[in-house]
Structure 1
């Protein structure tokens, strides 16, 4: 299953404030008790009872309508009780203020609850959209373990411009990871267009170059729907990786994306492209010359594909996250464990504040893949 991080339940991305929030919800009641206690125990001249309308006003920000009204009624009873002990408190004026503030607070609470309900339904729609855009990748395809990670930079974000996909095709395992320039709905739309096209082309095209041409066509068509924007400002970096059914190798087509990292025998190899290929949607400007590189992918090897949100994560001193050095320090582990640790260390390194979306795919060729190949299967 993919490791998708989103708000609220965006697990571990930021410190949990659930306990603090529960304590804050009791603050209107605590404020009422404190004001009442000081009002009964201090001289009449201080008249702290005039602060009682503050409690229902505060409750409107976090309580439902009925509890807000009940708190206002409690404050009114406290004010009436004080009038029996102290004369000339201006009870009628303070009581009128409590009533008016409570009614206004109840209305504000009602409006807030309506907006929260609308926001809740919007989030449900966003969750459904995310499941379509970043659907679960297979955990294992013919001897290759695959896991995914997605972290949204924005506090309330569900989806962004980073994307990934994995497919078990007649031509082998085909993987896609990329990053659309920019943020917002336009970036999400471009990412959706690229992923949708890849999900079809990965099964139809016998060659990786054919896939990238179809992706280029798809994003160009999407881009044409927004003629008011400059063409060079709309592009996506991407990597297509292919692991054939037989043979311990993989093919990589890198279109301006950060290079993958291959771990073999505790050594990290940066798989830089031999020649640069144009990012998606820039081929009409700089040409459509695509270069496919090959690399060995033997049993026990591990591959990490990622977006620039990983390497551009900064600490408080402004230093970038040292992904290659970090990977060298890791013990051999399964892809899920590797991404869990990467997630944890990115959050810790950035102080809980990611500046960009993060997506990653981790693969490991299992030791039994060689046995599958020897038996005539599709193992690597």
Structure 2
């Protein structure tokens, strides 16, 4: 974190670098003998302006460097000498090059911003923000991609209001890149459609299993065991204060209830989606109480597999205990901040977080 803070400080003041280099060049030229020249610093000041300043700032830096260099030559009696002429030509040439580089960098920056805007639009389309509230249930979600410039990766979450209750899923697609993003889109689309028509969680699970296997086959996966998705399906029935869960090889959710924070481990381990051929036993649906004030935290392994500098994995229970009475958004903000501190700002895997809190109907 200290290193990140130092780089932020450097970035904040980096625009002063061209002026600082010009000032140092002038001081060297004034305080040293006539045979000593700071021409390299004039060139460095102009070239540093290209990525740090605007077109106007780059041109202005070059003009100032040219003018200052010419005035110093006059001061030392080199007004029209070959030495003065060649150095001034060099400064002017570097200015032209800096202007060219400034324009190239500007257009690449515009292209990058366009790509980021497209990525943001894709994220909103593929991974939309869940509703803030459905009946007595309040929701909050966060998505942190492993790549700094990416907006979406191989993790997913969905919240759907159905005739059978509110249904949610959080999942982690094996693999990286566009193949994982495509699998995310398939999984989300299947869940949206099947959640509204399958009356049971086991039926919904079968539909998701079929979709994952089909996507792996169409993607050219060599064996059926190379493409899979870990996930947790959650259902809140329309009546009663309970929650039903099916865990398919995913990290156990956290239940925050009163003064306790505990992991909700499945009563029976099951393989991830896409590996159903390894286990022919019926799906295990766990049911537990979910009264007013309870919060369920669903997350992907990008949260708990982050290590600090000593190799210790991140444990979210501490923050959940400290913020157990906070709202869903406040809890996730605290988790993301604490996770960043623990990992030193490094992120090796995508991280998706989804919290569900039950509040009284009159709240």
TM-score in same-fold range (> 0.5)? yes
Deviation, 1:25, is: 1.4
In the alignment, is the contact (CA less than 8 A) between 2:241 and 2:291 conserved in 1?
yes
Deviation, 1:62, is: 2.1
RMSD: 2.2
Q: Is 151-160 or 138-147 further displaced after alignment?
A: 151-160
Report the counterpart of residue 74 of structure 2 in structure 1: 84
In the alignment, is the contact (CA less than 8 A) between 2:316 and 2:335 conserved in 1?
no
Report the counterpart of residue 128 of structure 1 in structure 2: 121
Report the counterpart of residue 32 of structure 1 in structure 2: 22
Question: C-alpha separation between the residues in 2 aligned to 1:137 and 1:36?
Answer: 59
Secondary structure at 1:246 match in 2: coil
Report the counterpart of residue 146 of structure 1 in structure 2: 139
In the alignment, is the contact (CA less than 8 A) between 1:15 and 1:352 conserved in 2?
no
Q: Give the 5 Å matches for 1:222-371.
A: 222-227=215-220, 229-287=222-280, 289-368=282-361
Quickly say closer, same or farther: Cα 1:171–1:224, change in 2 above 3 A: same
Q: Is 101-110 or 360-369 further displaced after alignment?
A: 360-369
In the alignment, is the contact (CA less than 8 A) between 2:153 and 2:176 conserved in 1?
yes
In the alignment, is the contact (CA less than 8 A) between 1:198 and 1:215 conserved in 2?
yes
In the alignment, is the contact (CA less than 8 A) between 2:213 and 2:224 conserved in 1?
no
Report the counterpart of residue 41 of structure 2 in structure 1: 51
In the alignment, is the contact (CA less than 8 A) between 1:64 and 1:110 conserved in 2?
no
Question: C-alpha separation between the residues in 2 aligned to 1:45 and 1:229?
Answer: 71
Report the counterpart of residue 173 of structure 1 in structure 2: 166
Question: C-alpha separation between the residues in 1 aligned to 2:9 and 2:309?
Answer: 26
* Deviations, residues 153-209 of structure 1 (Å, cap 9, x unaligned): 222221111110111111101001011122221111111110111111111111112
* Deviations, residues 247-303 of structure 1 (Å, cap 9, x unaligned): 121111111001112122312232211222221222245447422111111122221
Q: Give the 5 Å matches for 1:65-80.
A: 65-80=55-70
Q: Is 331-340 or 179-188 further displaced after alignment?
A: 331-340
In the alignment, is the contact (CA less than 8 A) between 1:216 and 1:281 conserved in 2?
yes
Question: C-alpha separation between the residues in 2 aligned to 1:333 and 1:67?
Answer: 48
Q: Which runs of 5+ in 1 are unaligned?
A: 1-13, 372-380
Q: Is 150-159 or 194-203 further displaced after alignment?
A: 150-159
Are 1:191 and 2:181 counterparts? no
Question: C-alpha separation between the residues in 2 aligned to 1:263 and 1:165?
Answer: 21
In the alignment, is the contact (CA less than 8 A) between 2:255 and 2:294 conserved in 1?
yes
Secondary structure at 2:292 match in 1: coil
TM-score, length basis structure 2: 0.91
Deviation, 1:37, is: 2.8
How many residues end up aligned between the 2 structures? 357
Deviation, 1:58, is: 1.3
- Between 1 and 2, higher relative CO (CA 8 Å, sep ≥ 6) is seen in 1
Quickly say closer, same or farther: Cα 1:199–1:355, change in 2 above 3 A: same
In the alignment, is the contact (CA less than 8 A) between 1:249 and 1:298 conserved in 2?
yes
Quickly say closer, same or farther: Cα 1:269–1:55, change in 2 above 3 A: closer
Question: C-alpha separation between the residues in 1 aligned to 2:7 and 2:160?
Answer: 38
TM-score, length basis structure 1: 0.87
In the alignment, is the contact (CA less than 8 A) between 2:309 and 2:343 conserved in 1?
yes
Question: C-alpha separation between the residues in 2 aligned to 1:70 and 1:228?
Answer: 57
* Deviations, residues 47-104 of structure 1 (Å, cap 9, x unaligned): 2244312211111222233432232122111121122122458212211211221111
